[in-house]
């Protein structure tokens, strides 16, 4: 009857590390087991709304913790939903979440590294092997007659047998290792339960039979008044909803009751660290929906917009019906109203935070700003608030600025919000396209997140000021009153003709490579730069798209020349006097390639470039 099975490879690996970890917080195994027991009760309570028979005379949910010092065992049991044989195999023999499986592959011989990785996803049930060298899980699924027992020493394999169990639910017996004897003491266990599991919604009893006493207070934390909750309790609750064992603290704790047409209580957190799967397309938000203290689901996507998917916590509605299916919740108008009110509340709290402590907000923004900016792309209803919450790097100062600050500082004659898109802050700051803006004292926002390429083109304006890329189209700086002295001299007719002749020649030479060659008003020190034509996509966006195979790059940039630059002056003279045609040609290509390099564009033909460069150097050395 007994069936022996191997753990999935990743599980084995994780178990090895867990069992040998000198982890100072071994006590969290109890928190994990109680949290699973509580989930199991939640799930059965929900299923029983539609099928009350499942409860069969045992409607009082509870969790029990007991120990036997002589037998050296600690037992955690619940009358929750229980597990079938298949459940046991899948839940306790594999790592279901693919992101977590990937992380486990990165575990290595370095304990510090391992603990910090493990801290990011939590080890859940497997944490029992920190304190036990043998574990049995006896479980009977609600509504089934047959029970099963799962046994393992956590080293490579486990066995499954059929078994008898009088009651539904799960009983986990841990055979405690020598070095974990502290958990065979009543006071120690009680303290651990109080510390980590006080807020659990079901009674947790210690002791057996009539002598069993409830240890936790059992009231839903989010229903208590703020003044009755200690910071420590908030923190523990945060850790329990965020499913990590890391010593992470919430960056923001938001606890409020919404009253009015709809009533609901909210306890939400923003983490201080970035979750490892923030950009996993399969990742969902971490907010659990309750209806009058009954856990319904953590899968209602409509409750929290994707751009706030890092928020964790609980929303408990007083007026949603209990027996509504999870699918219908997704389209429920009450949920939609709650969602937009919750979003507004979170965003207005962020606005306050940014005003109160910009340094602190900068840390937050560096973690989650790129995600929030997704809202600028697809959450039109929250657009104004998102624009107020968003912060940007700027050409003017090292720290972040808001759009409001930017607009406040705009120069006389300036009616657009200028920005430059670039892969990094450094490359943005060093862009030749910024030179004239800097010289004139015009501030430019630096956009370095991929998402910026998506929201900027559709976000036409903020406070009637249009967003304008400095690497696309004409920059038209002439209307703006400079804060710095203007040293431009009016050009004579002769100079104009020479420039026109050079432009024509360059266009002939670079045909097929560029769309046009024009005189720049954005360059000061550099001889040339590339910009995108007004009606095409921006330079950086073009690069982003090029990474996707399906994209066919048809965009031909415009080459802009700096009319006052010595190299350009020389070229003009050559063209005007019709001398050194080869040198003009070689220099034209050198200039184009250097503009590409500064842009971070790949060179079409690096060998040709190097040959030309060497020729030019040789000339210089003679
Ligand atoms: P998580 O709780 O994050 O899913 P765990 O490793 O803690 O991960 O548990 C794995 C799975 O095992 C749970 O998702 C659940 O399906 C199942 N499980 C664990 N303990 C119990 C229990 N006491 N009753 C029912 N199912 C359980
Ligand atoms: Mg768990």
The CATH code of the domain that includes 340 is 3.30.230.80
Nearest CA to ligand 1 atom 20: 36
In a domain, 474, yes or no: no
The ligand placed nearest to the CA atom of residue 137 is 1
In a domain, 407, yes or no: no
Q: Are 57 and 175 found together in one domain?
A: yes
Counting atoms of ligand 1 from 1, which one is nearest the CA of 122? 3
Q: Are 41 and 22 found together in one domain?
A: yes
Which of 320, 354, 388 finishes a domain?
Answer: 354
In a domain, 613, yes or no: yes
Which of 327, 354, 381 finishes a domain?
Answer: 354
CB of 171 sitting under 6 A from ligand 1:
no
Q: Are 186 and 245 found together in one domain?
A: no
Question: Of all helices (H) and strands (E), which one includes residue 330?
Answer: helix 326-330
**Probe ligand 1: pick from 31, 42, 54, 91, max atoms within 8 Å of CB?**
91
Nearest CA to ligand 1 atom 18: 36
Q: How far is residue 470's CA from residue 534's CA, in Å, rounded to a whole number?
A: 10
Highest mean pLDDT among 27-31, 120-124, 327-331, 402-406: 402-406
Read off the pLDDT of each residue in 590-614 and give the average, rounded to a whole number: 91
**Residue 406 CB partners (closer than 8 Å, separation 6+):** 392, 394, 417, 443, 445
Nearest CA to ligand 1 atom 13: 91
Q: How far is residue 505's CA from residue 502's CA, in Å, rounded to a whole number?
A: 5
In a domain, 605, yes or no: yes
CB of 170 sitting under 6 A from ligand 1:
yes
Read off the pLDDT of each residue in 274-287 and give the average, rounded to a whole number: 84
Counting atoms of ligand 1 from 1, which one is nearest the CA of 80? 24
Q: Are 508 and 613 found together in one domain?
A: yes
- Number of domains within the chain: 3
Q: Are 237 and 200 found together in one domain?
A: no
CB of 248 sitting under 6 A from ligand 1:
no
Q: For the chain, how many residues are written?
A: 622
Q: Calculate how far, in angstroms, residue 174's C-alpha sits from the geometric centre of ligand 2.
A: 16
Q: What is the pLDDT of residues 572-587, one digit of tens each?
A: 999 999 999 999 999 9
In a domain, 415, yes or no: no
CB of 95 sitting under 6 A from ligand 1:
no
Q: Calculate how far, in angstroms, residue 28's C-alpha sits from the geometric centre of ligand 1.
A: 15
CB of 286 sitting under 6 A from ligand 1:
no
Q: How far is residue 494's CA from residue 517's CA, in Å, rounded to a whole number?
A: 20
Helix axes 111-121, 98-105, angle to 10 degrees: 180
Helix axes 606-621, 581-599, angle to 10 degrees: 120
Nearest CA to ligand 1 atom 3: 124
Res 119: pLDDT: 67
Res 48: pLDDT: 94
Q: Is the per-residue pLDDT at 553 higher than 90?
A: no
Nearest CA to ligand 1 atom 4: 124
**Probe ligand 1: pick from 10, 39, 43, max atoms within 8 Å of CB?**
39
The ligand placed nearest to the CA atom of residue 81 is 1
Average pLDDT value over all residues in the chain? 90
CB of 33 sitting under 6 A from ligand 1:
no
Q: What is the CATH number of the domain that holds 48?
A: 3.30.565.10
Q: Is the per-residue pLDDT at 6 higher than 60?
A: yes
Q: Are 293 and 190 found together in one domain?
A: no
Residue 578 in tokens: 């019709």
Higher pLDDT among residues 223 and 121, named by residue: 223
Counting atoms of ligand 1 from 1, which one is nearest the CA of 78? 23
Highest mean pLDDT among 100-114, 170-184, 291-305, 321-335: 170-184
User: Which residue range is the domain that position 104 belongs to?
Assistant: 3-217
Lowest-pLDDT range of 168-182, 353-367, 477-491, 509-523: 477-491
Highest mean pLDDT among 16-20, 545-549, 599-603, 609-613: 609-613
Residues above pLDDT 70, as percent of the chain: 96
CA distances from 142 to 78, 146, 149, 170 (A): 12, 10, 15, 10
CB of 470 sitting under 6 A from ligand 1:
no
Q: Are 293 and 204 found together in one domain?
A: no
Cβ atoms within 10 Å, residue 12: 17
CB of 37 sitting under 6 A from ligand 1:
yes
Q: How far is residue 15's CA from residue 7's CA, in Å, rounded to a whole number?
A: 9
In a domain, 615, yes or no: yes
Res 22: pLDDT: 56
> 120 and 276 in contact (C-beta within 8 Å)?
yes
Q: Calculate how far, in angstroms, residue 31's C-alpha sits from the geometric centre of ligand 2.
A: 9
Read off the pLDDT of each residue in 486-492 and give the average, rounded to a whole number: 62
Q: Calculate how far, in angstroms, residue 90's C-alpha sits from the geometric centre of ligand 2.
A: 14
Q: How far is residue 133's CA from residue 154's CA, in Å, rounded to a whole number?
A: 7
Q: Is the per-residue pLDDT at 545 higher than 80?
A: no
Provide the residues around ligand 2 (an ion) whose CB is within 5 A: 36, 124
Counting atoms of ligand 1 from 1, which one is nearest the CA of 126? 6
CA distances from 182 to 18, 23, 34, 36, 195 (A): 18, 15, 18, 23, 16
In a domain, 481, yes or no: no
> 37 and 132 in contact (C-beta within 8 Å)?
no
* pTM beyond 0.85: no
Nearest CA to ligand 1 atom 17: 91
Q: What is the CATH number of the domain that holds 503?
A: 1.20.120.790
Q: Are 142 and 264 found together in one domain?
A: no
Q: What is the pLDDT of residues 87-126, one digit of tens each?
A: 999 999 988 777 788 888 887 777 777 777 776 677 889 9
Q: Is the per-residue pLDDT at 181 higher than 80?
A: yes
The ligand placed nearest to the CA atom of residue 123 is 1
Counting atoms of ligand 1 from 1, which one is nearest the CA of 243? 3
What one-character-per-residue DSSP string does 513-575 give?
Answer: TBSEEEE-SS-SSSSEEEEB-TTS--HHHHHHHHTSTT------PEEEE-TTSHHHHHHHHHH
Res 138: pLDDT: 98
Q: What is the pLDDT of residues 355-383, one digit of tens each?
A: 999 999 999 999 999 999 999 999 999 99
**Residue 302 CB partners (closer than 8 Å, separation 6+):** 329, 330, 331, 332, 335, 336, 339
Q: Calculate how far, in angstroms, residue 246's C-alpha sits from the geometric centre of ligand 1.
A: 19
Q: Is the per-residue pLDDT at 620 higher than 90?
A: no
The ligand placed nearest to the CA atom of residue 35 is 2
In a domain, 573, yes or no: yes
Higher pLDDT among residues 489 and 58, named by residue: 58
Q: Are 262 and 345 found together in one domain?
A: yes
The pLDDT confidence band at residue 141, using thresholds 50, 70 and 90, is: very high
Q: Are 20 and 162 found together in one domain?
A: yes
Which of 171, 186, 217 finishes a domain?
Answer: 217
536, with CB counted inside 10 A (0-12, 13-18, 19+), is middle
Res 489: pLDDT: 60
């Amino acid at each position: 009857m007994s069936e022996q099975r191997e753990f999935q490879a990743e599980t084995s690996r994780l178990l090895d590390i867990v069992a040998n970890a000198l982890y100072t917080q071994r006590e969290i195994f109890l928190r994990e087991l109680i949290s699973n027991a509580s989930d199991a009760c939640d799930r059965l309570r929900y299923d029983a709304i539609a099928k009350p028979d499942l409860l069969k005379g045992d409607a009082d949910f509870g969790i029990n913790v007991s120990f036997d010092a002589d037998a050296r065992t600690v037992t955690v049991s619940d009358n929750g939903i229980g597990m079938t044989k298949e459940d046991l195999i899948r839940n306790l023999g594999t790592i279901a979440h693919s992101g977590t499986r990937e992380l486990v592959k990165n575990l290595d011989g370095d304990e510090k590294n391992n603990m910090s990785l493990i801290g990011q996803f939590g080890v859940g049930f497997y944490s029992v092997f920190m304190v036990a060298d043998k574990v049995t899980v006896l479980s009977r699924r609600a509504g089934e007659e047959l029970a099963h027992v799962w046994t393992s020493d956590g080293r490579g394999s486990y066995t499954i047998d059929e078994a008898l169990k009088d009651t539904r639910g799960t009983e986990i017996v841990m055979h405690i290792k020598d070095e974990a004897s502290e958990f065979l003491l009543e006071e120690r266990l009680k303290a651990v339960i109080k510390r980590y599991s006080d807020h659990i919604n079901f009674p947790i009893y210690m002791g057996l039979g009539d002598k069993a006493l409830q240890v936790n207070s059992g009231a839903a934390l989010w229903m208590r008044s703020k003044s009755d909750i200690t910071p420590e309790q908030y923190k523990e609750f945060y850790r329990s909803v965020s499913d990590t064992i890391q010593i992470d603290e919430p960056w923001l704790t938001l606890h409020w009751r919404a009253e009015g047409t709809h009533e609901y209580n909210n306890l939400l957190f923003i983490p201080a660290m970035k979750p490892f799967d923030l950009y996993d397309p399969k990742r969902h938000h971490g907010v659990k929906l309750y209806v009058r203290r009954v856990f319904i689901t953590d899968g209602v996507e409509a409750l929290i917009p994707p751009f706030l998917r890092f928020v964790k916590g609980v929303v408990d509605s007083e007026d949603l019906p209990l027996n509504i299916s999870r699918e219908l919740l997704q389209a429920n108008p009450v949920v939609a109203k709650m969602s937009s009110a919750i979003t507004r509340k979170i965003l207005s709290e962020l606005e306050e935070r940014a005003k109160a402590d910009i340094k602190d907000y900068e840390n937050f923004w560096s973690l989650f700003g790129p995600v929030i900016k997704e809202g600028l792309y697809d959450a039109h209803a929250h657009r104004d608030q998102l624009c107020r919450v968003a912060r940007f790097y700027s050409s003017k100062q090292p720290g972040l600025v808001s759009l409001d600050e930017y607009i406040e500082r705009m120069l006389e004659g300036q009616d657009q919000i200028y920005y430059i898109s670039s892969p990094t802050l450094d490359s943005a700051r060093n862009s030749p396209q910024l030179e004239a803006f800097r010289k004139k004292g015009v501030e430019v926002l630096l956009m370095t997140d991929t998402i910026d390429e998506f929201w900027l083109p559709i976000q036409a304006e903020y406070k009637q000021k249009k967003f304008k890329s400095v690497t696309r189209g004409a920059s038209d700086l002439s209307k703006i009153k400079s804060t710095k002295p203007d040293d431009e001299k009016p050009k004579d007719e002769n100079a104009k003709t020479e420039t026109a002749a050079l432009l024509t020649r360059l266009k002939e030479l670079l045909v097929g490579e560029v769309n046009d060659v024009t005189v720049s008003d954005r360059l000061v020190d550099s001889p040339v730069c590339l910009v995108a034509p007004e009606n095409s996509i921006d330079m950086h966006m073009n690069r982003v798209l090029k990474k996707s195979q399906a994209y066919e790059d048809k965009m031909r940039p415009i080459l802009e020349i700096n009319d006052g630059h010595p190299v350009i002056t020389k070229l003009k003279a050559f063209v005007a006097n019709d001398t050194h045609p080869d040198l003009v040609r070689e220099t034209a290509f050198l200039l184009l390639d250097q503009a590409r390099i500064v842009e971070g564009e790949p060179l079409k033909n690096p060998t040709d470039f190097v040959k030309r460069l060497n020729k030019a150097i040789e000339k210089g050395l003679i």
